[in-house]
């Protein structure tokens, strides 16, 4: 592994945090304007709906998947629930646990917002700057 100086690591960290902040601000601004969602609200809906989304998750697992603390997730789920995009239900097997279910309205909002989020990711992330691999000569 190459020897990397502390200064180089600090600069890389600073650059990464700056790119993340710019991306998050743009996602928040455009998702809110077009779909009434923050980037964190979109992420929660994505975790519930996405290609492998089960439609429901326990609150603790949802927090882990969405990278949110339990208190932040609880407030966010409250807003989504108030807007009719998710609903809470007690877990029959474990009364301490709470299931979060995406509603039909939540699925619809996610599907409407997904193209906006994907377009931003295509233009704003480092992946967009990496050319696709060349096709092998046939």
Distances (CA, A) of 52 to 6, 9, 46, 49, 63: 39, 35, 10, 7, 16
Q: What is the mean pLDDT of the chain?
A: 88
Q: What is the pTM of this model?
A: 0.82
What domains, with CATH codes, occur in the chain? 12-123 (1.10.10.10)
pLDDT band at 53 (very low <50, low <70, confident <90, very high): low
Lowest mean pLDDT among 19-28, 37-46, 104-113: 19-28
Exposure string over 61-85, b if 16+ CB within 10 A, otherwise e:
ebbebbebeeeebeebbeebbeeeb
């Amino acid at each position: 592994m190459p020897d990397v100086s502390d200064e180089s690591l600090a600069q890389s960290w600073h650059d990464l945090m700056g790119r993340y902040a710019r991306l998050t601000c743009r996602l928040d601004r455009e998702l809110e304007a077009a779909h009434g969602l923050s980037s964190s609200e979109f992420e929660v809906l994505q975790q519930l709906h996405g290609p492998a989304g089960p439609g429901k998750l326990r609150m603790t697992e949802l927090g882990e998947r969405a990278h949110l603390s339990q208190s932040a997730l609880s407030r966010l789920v409250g807003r989504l629930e108030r807007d009719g995009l998710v609903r809470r239900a007690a877990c029959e097997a474990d009364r301490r646990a709470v299931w979060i279910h995406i509603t039909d309205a939540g699925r619809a909002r996610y599907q409407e917002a997904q193209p906006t989020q994907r377009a931003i990711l295509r233009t704003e992330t480092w992946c967009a700057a990496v050319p696709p691999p060349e096709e092998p000569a046939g």
